[in-house]
Chain A
Amino acid sequence: MGLSRKTKDTLIRNILFLAALSSIVALGLIMVYLFVEGLPIFKVVSVPDFLFGTLWYPTSDPPDFGIFPLIVASLAVTALSSVIAIPLGVMTAIYLAEIAGRRTRDFFKPVVELLAALPSVVIGFFGMVVVAPFLQETLDLATGLNLFNASLMLAFMSVPTICSVSEDAIHAVPRELKEASLALGATHFETIARVVLPASLSGISTGVMLGMSRAIGETMVVLMVAGGAAIIPHSIFSPVRPMPSSIAAEMAEAAFRGDHYRALFAIGIVLFLFTLAFNLVASHVAEKHKQVGAATL
C-alpha cells in the first residue's frame, strides 16, 4: 500500500469516528420516527387527557385514550421489583466482594451473570406456568397473574445487573480505606457498612438505575405474567397492564397510521422519556459520587 503513515492514520481515525457516529444516527432516526408517528395523536386527545385519563379503550367508538392506569402499572411494577431486587443484588454483591473466598466468588459470579443471559420469554413462561398457579393456590388469590408475580420475575432479571455492577464497584474500593478502618478498631461489618458501601455508592447507584431501567422497559415478561387488566392496582395482587405490554399486544392489530397506532407510539414516547430520566439520574449520581482517589471519602 502506498499510503503515507499520516493518511493511514487519518483514515483509521475517520473510520472509527463513523462507527461511533452510527449509533448516534440510529438513535436520532428512531427518536424522530417515534415522535413523527406519535405526536399527531394529540390532535385527537389533549396531553392531560392522554396522561391522566383512566380509561383505555382505543378501538371503541368514540375511543378513550387514557394511559394513566398503564403508567401507574409500569411504575408500580418497577418500584416493587426494585424493592425485591435491590437488597438481593446489593447483598449478593457485598457477599461476593467482601466475604466470600476466592473460589466461591469465582463460582458464584458467573452463575449470577448467567441469570442475565436467560431470555425474558423463558422467565415469562416460568412465571406464567409455575409461579402463577403456585401464588394462586398458596395465597388463595383470584389470579396468579398479577403485579406481584410480574415484579418477582422482573427482579430476577435486574438482580444480575445490580449485583454485577455493584460487585465491581465494591471490589474497586481502595485497600487502604478498609485497612485504615480495621486499624482503627472497626469490625468487619462496621467497615463494610461505614466505609466500603459509602465509597462504592456511585457504582451501586449506577447498577440500581440500570436494573430499574431494564425493568421498566421489559416487555415479554409483563406481557405474559402481569395479567393485562388496564386498571389502577388496588393491591399488589391486582392484575395490571404496564406500557410495554400494551404496545406489544396491540400494535399488530392497530390500523396503520390510525389513531390507535399513533396512541401506541405516543405511549412509546412516554416510555422513552421515563427510561431517559432513569439513565440521566444514573449518570448524574455516578458523576456526583465519583470516587477520584483514596482521599475523597
Chain B
Amino acid sequence: MRKILGMVAALLLVASTAFAETAIKVDGSTTVLPIMQKIVEAYMKAHPDVKISVSGGGSGNGIKALIDGATDVAMASRAMEPKEIELAKSKNVNPNQIVCAIDAIVPIVNPANKLSAVTVAQLKELFMGKITSWKDLGAEGPVVVVSRDTSSGTYETWEGMVMKKERVFPGAMMQASNGAVVQTVSKNKNAIGYVGLGYLDASTKPLTVDGIVATAETAKSKKYPISRDLYLYTNGAPAGAVKGLIDFVLSAEGQKLVKETGFVPLN
C-alpha cells in the first residue's frame, strides 16, 4: 500500500512539474522548418523550463493555425496575403511579421562546364526539360537536370521563383538533400542543379542569374532574382516566453545558426 502511495505521489510530482513548464508551438513552412528546428534545439538546451514543439505543415497551414489560435508562432516562406490578414483581424488576431532569415538559391554546374551565366527564363526551360543540349547555351554535351525532392522547401522556393506555375519535369534526378545535389553535380560534367547559398563550395560552379552574382549582399538587397525573405508571425508583439524565443532567433547566436542551416543571416 505504502509503495502504491509513493508511486502516486511521484506521478503527481512529475505531472505538476510538467504543468509548470511553458509550452510554445511553432508551425508552418517546411523551408523555415530546419532553421527553427536548429534554433529551438539550442534554445531549449539553454532554457530547459520552456518546451517548444516545431512542426512543418506548410506556410498556409501555419498561418491558418495562427489565425485559429492553434499555434504561437507561424513560419512562412511568403508574406501573409491581405485576405489572411483580414480573416485574422476578424478573429481578433493581430499578425505581427518578423523577418528571420533570407533564402537565396543558386544554380550550380560542374566546374568543367563552360557556361557561367544564365537567365531565369533559361533556367525555367532547362528544368522543364525543354533545353536538352548545352549547345543551345553555348557549351557542350547533353543536359542532366538535378533537382531537390518535390517535398523539400528548396524545391518549393525554386518552383515559386523560377518555374512560375510550371513543374520541374519528371526526368530530373531528384535528390534528397542539398549535399546530395552538390555531390551529384560535382561528379557529372553534364549536370545542373540548385542549392541554398550556404551550400556553395569549390566542387561546383555557381552561375550568375540575369547577370547578378549570388552573394549575401545581393540576396539581402533582393537584386539577386532567386532570393526572398523568410518570416515568423506572432499574434501581436511577442511577449513572455515567445518573446524570449524570437529575441534568440534575431540574436547574433541565432543568426549564426541560420547561416549554419544554409540560409543568409540578416546581419
Contacts and interface: CB of A to CB of B under 8 A. Distances in A.
B150 interface: yes
B176 to A, nearest CB: 4
A125 B141 CA distance: 26
Contacts of A69: 170
A60 B187 contact: no
A256 B173 contact: no
A253 B151 CA distance: 6
A27 B239 CA distance: 48
Decide if the interface of chain A is mainly helix, strand, loop or mixed.
Answer: loop
Given A255-B61, A256-B55, A260-B151, A228 B187 contact: no
Contact of A228 (B152, B175, B190): B175
Contacts of A249: 149, 174-176
A76 interface: no
A120 interface: no
B53 to A, nearest CB: 11
Interface residues of B, number: 31
Nearest to B156: A59
B184 to A, nearest CB: 7
B231 to A, nearest CB: 19
Nearest to B150: A59
Nearest to A64: B167
Contacts of A142: 141-144, 190
Given A59-B150, A231-B171, A143 B188 contact: yes
Nearest to B143: A142
Contacts of B176: 223, 228, 248-250
A145 B184 contact: yes
Contacts of A227: 173
A250 B149 contact: yes
A230 interface: yes
A262 interface: no
Given A129-B187, A142-B144, A145-B184, A57 B171 contact: no
Interface in A19-64: 54-60
Rank and list the top 6 A-B pairs by shortest CB-CB distance, nearest first: A249-B176, A228-B174, A253-B151, A142-B142, A227-B173, A250-B151
A58 B151 contact: yes
Given A57-B167, A128-B183, A230-B174, 20 more contacts: A57-B150, A59-B156, A133-B187, A143-B188, A143-B190, A145-B184, A227-B173, A228-B149, A229-B170, A229-B171, A239-B173, A249-B149, A249-B174, A250-B151, A253-B56, A253-B152, A255-B30, A255-B55, A255-B56, A255-B58
Given A129-B187, A255-B61, A229 B174 contact: yes
A263 to B, nearest CB: 11
A101 interface: no
Interface in A248-289: 248-250, 253-256, 258, 260
A128 B171 CA distance: 19
Contact of B151 (A231, A239, A254): A254
A69 B57 CA distance: 27
A181 interface: no
Contacts of B142: 142
Given A69-B170, A142-B144, A239-B173, A253 B149 contact: yes
A132 B173 contact: no
B191 interface: yes
Interface string B141-167: 111100001111101100000000001
A56 B168 CA distance: 11
11 contacts: A54-B170, A57-B150, A128-B183, A142-B190, A144-B187, A229-B170, A229-B173, A230-B170, A231-B170, A241-B174, A255-B30
Contacts of A55: 170
